[in-house]
Amino acid sequence: MTTLFSKLIQYVLLTTAKYSIDESHGLGHSLNVLHYANRIYESELPTNPQLYDQKNVIFIAAALHDMCDKKYMQTDRALVDIRDFLVQENVETGDEELEAIERIMQTMSYSSVKLAGFPVLGEYQHAYHIVRESDLLCAYDFDRSMLYHMHRRKCSMEDAFLNAEELFRLRVFKHRDDGLLLTDFSMRESFQLERVALERMLRWRRLLKISG
């Protein structure tokens, strides 16, 4: 029996191959965002029982959010492909849920939020924040940031480290102060992830013999 998750992961595999999406936004990242989405969902469900009926929206948006990323493809075309896939695979989503999935994926990025703030998604507002925060928690992975710079900017490992370090100090380590983490789980998790990232940065700096 093919489960929802198997279908989603297969779509990620095919799409990353089609658009040459590098590993920083590929299957591993989709799995990590899906993992965090589930953990936040479970932590929020007792006080927000309406989320139970929205779990497919949360999990689909979490798994597929980078399969329409403008860095790699034309977003509008990709959203049509995602909708067609969900319909063809008989994923249990109605028109309202499909629209919610699309809105979440289109407005959840850091750049979108910094530019326009949080969108108004009505009954799906909480689901939106769960998916958005799941992606933000994955942003604390320092090695992933280095990989992105090496893939996209074709820079050396040393330059990738310096670029990633600057990104973390200017953006990632300010998630809490910028009011981007709203759930209790994300707030707690961010402190631990920040400690891990700082340790990783220190070890890379020593290994690469970068002063500073």
DSSP string, 33-55: HHHHHHHHHHHHTTT-GGGGGGH
pLDDT single digits (tens) 87-124: 888 787 788 999 999 999 999 999 999 999 999 999 99
Instruction: Using alpha carbons, list the distances in angstroms from residue 33 to 29, 93, 155, 203, 205.
Output: 6, 20, 26, 25, 27
Domain ranges of the chain: 1-138, 140-212
The Cα 193–Cα 135 span in angstroms is: 13
Domain 1-138 superfamily per CATH: Hypothetical protein af1432 (1.10.3210.10)
Condensed to tens digits (0 to 9), the pLDDT of residues 119-163 reads 999 999 999 999 999 999 999 999 999 999 999 888 999 999 999
What is the pTM assigned to this prediction?
Answer: 0.95
**Token pair of 69 as six digits:** 């990323």
